[in-house]
């Protein structure tokens, strides 16, 4: 287990993404993945109120509902660190205080719990003063409904502004940043966000750690992949992307592990990362992302150089 910087939260070094629950994984398959995650020592789950509103026939909240039903049926809420988010659901948009309060209560009901361990601002709502947003979180913390807050998809400049306002006005501080970071998407995080995290001693909990599945190794030259995410990885299917996959393959063989596990290990090698997020729609996929691989400095450097 590791401790998320600035918190008392002890978590497995992989956060299970809940974005597939209620989308590409129905409730039965989702529960099977969650059972396997728990049996392998996992205890950190990430979801959002908007998951998975985009799927036909959905209204949002499906992922939270599936996770809540699972925890209720297993009686294991106390064993898990649950993160969810507010602001992207079409019926609960933005970061105005009244919306945050209402959305939090909705999430608590769907999750069938009395508290959320980590509550994210799912995007930077520039129409709402930061102090008002943080004030709403202060209310929820005082009521015991949330423990910590995080920022998702904030620029480095705006994250620093939020941290400065929290310090100046004695309001809750974001304890982490969630944004995209992986071997093929590095620039914004490393150039703009990472310096802010380091300066403020807070960490990243990145999503898309496997680049929407590209870094699992299933995408190869000339191979057609049947996946709902296949079109999303088109920009990675080039000489550079395939060179990275080839290197991951060689290193995974040396560690007798999966390509996915090595891709996630590269993210963990960054000292500003607490733990990456990765999702699995099947138990087989889960087994590929769960191993914790310790890369050598030479292996990290070789991958970074690509």
List, for residues 15-61, the tens digit of each pLDDT value: 999 999 999 999 999 999 999 999 999 999 999 999 999 999 999 99
pLDDT given for residue 126 in this prediction: 97
Q: What is the pLDDT of residues 136-153, one digit of tens each?
A: 999 999 999 999 999 999
> The domain spanning residue 18 has which CATH number?
3.20.20.100
Look at residue 192 and tell me if it is in a domain: yes
Q: Which residues contact 133 (CB under 8 A, 6 or more apart)?
A: 95, 96, 97, 100, 121, 125
Which of 56, 50, 62, 54 has its CA nearest to residue 26? 62
Q: Is the pLDDT of residue 228 over 70?
A: no
Range of the domain at 33: 2-211+259-295
Q: For residue 244, tell me if it sits in a domain.
A: no
The pLDDT value given to residue 292: 98
Flag whether pLDDT at 226 surpasses 90.
no
Task: Please indicate, yes or no, if residue 222 is contained in any of the structural domains.
Answer: no
Residues labelled as active-site residues: 51
Residue 236 lies in a domain: no
Does the structure show a pLDDT above 80 at 224?
no
Q: Is the pLDDT of residue 225 over 90?
A: no
Cα→Cα distances 184→147, 148, 295, 306, Å: 33, 30, 18, 9
The mean pLDDT of 202-216, rounded to a whole number, is: 96
Contacts of residue 73, Cβ cutoff 8 Å, sequence gap at least 6? 31
Q: What is the pLDDT of residues 79-134, one digit of tens each?
A: 999 999 999 999 999 999 999 999 999 999 999 999 999 999 999 999 999 999 99
Res. 8: pLDDT tops 90: yes
pLDDT in tens, 166-201: 999 999 999 999 999 999 999 999 999 999 999 999
Domain total in the chain:
1
Check residue 73 and give its pLDDT.
Answer: 98
Token readout for 306 is 């690509």
At 222, is the pLDDT very low, low, confident or very high (cuts 50, 70, 90)?
confident
- Asked if residue 226 is part of any domain, the answer here is no
pLDDT attached to residue 6: 96
Separation between Cα atoms, residue 104 and residue 258, nearest integer Å: 37
* β-sheet with 116-121: strand ranges across: 203-204, 174-178, 146-152, 116-121, 81-86, 44-46, 15-17, 277-279
* pLDDT (0 to 100) of residue 219: 86
Q: What is the mean pLDDT of residues 260-271?
A: 98
Whether 232 has a pLDDT exceeding 90, the answer reads: no
How high is the pLDDT of residue 231? Answer: 77
Q: Is residue 204 part of a domain?
A: yes
pTM for the predicted model, two decimal places: 0.96
């Amino acid at each position: 287990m590791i401790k998320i910087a600035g918190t008392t939260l002890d978590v497995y070094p992989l956060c299970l993404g809940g974005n597939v629950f209620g989308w590409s994984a129905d409730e039965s398959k989702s529960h099977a993945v969650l059972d396997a995650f728990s049996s392998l020592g996992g205890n950190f789950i990430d979801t959002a109120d908007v998951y998975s509103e985009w799927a036909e026939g959905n209204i949002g909240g499906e992922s939270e509902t599936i996770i809540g039903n699972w925890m209720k049926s297993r009686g294991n809420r106390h064993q898990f660190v649950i993160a969810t988010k507010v602001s992207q659901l079409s019926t609960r948009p933005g970061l105005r205080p009244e919306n945050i309060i209402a959305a939090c209560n909705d999430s608590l009901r769907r999750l069938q719990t009395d508290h959320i361990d980590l509550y994210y601002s799912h995007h930077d709502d520039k129409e709402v003063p930061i102090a008002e947003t943080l004030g709403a979180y202060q209310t929820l913390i005082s009521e015991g409904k949330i423990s910590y807050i995080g920022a998702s998809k904030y620029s480095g400049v705006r994250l620093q502004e939020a941290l400065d306002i929290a310090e100046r006005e004695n309001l809750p501080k974001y304890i982490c940043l969630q944004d995209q970071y992986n071997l093929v998407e590095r620039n914004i995080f490393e150039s703009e966000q990472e310096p802010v995290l380091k300066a403020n001693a807070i960490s990243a909990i990145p999503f898309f750690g496997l680049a929407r599945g590209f870094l699992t190794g299933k995408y190869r030259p000339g191979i057609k992949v049947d996946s709902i995410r296949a079109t999303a990885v088109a920009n990675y299917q080039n000489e550079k992307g395939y060179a990275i996959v080839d290197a991951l393959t060689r290193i995974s063989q040396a560690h007798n592990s999966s390509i996915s596990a090595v891709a996630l290990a590269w993210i963990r090698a960054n000292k500003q990362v607490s733990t990456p997020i990765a999702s699995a729609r099947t138990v087989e996929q889960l087994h590929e992302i769960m191993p914790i691989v310790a890369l050598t400095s030479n292996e990290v450097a070789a991958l970074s150089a690509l």
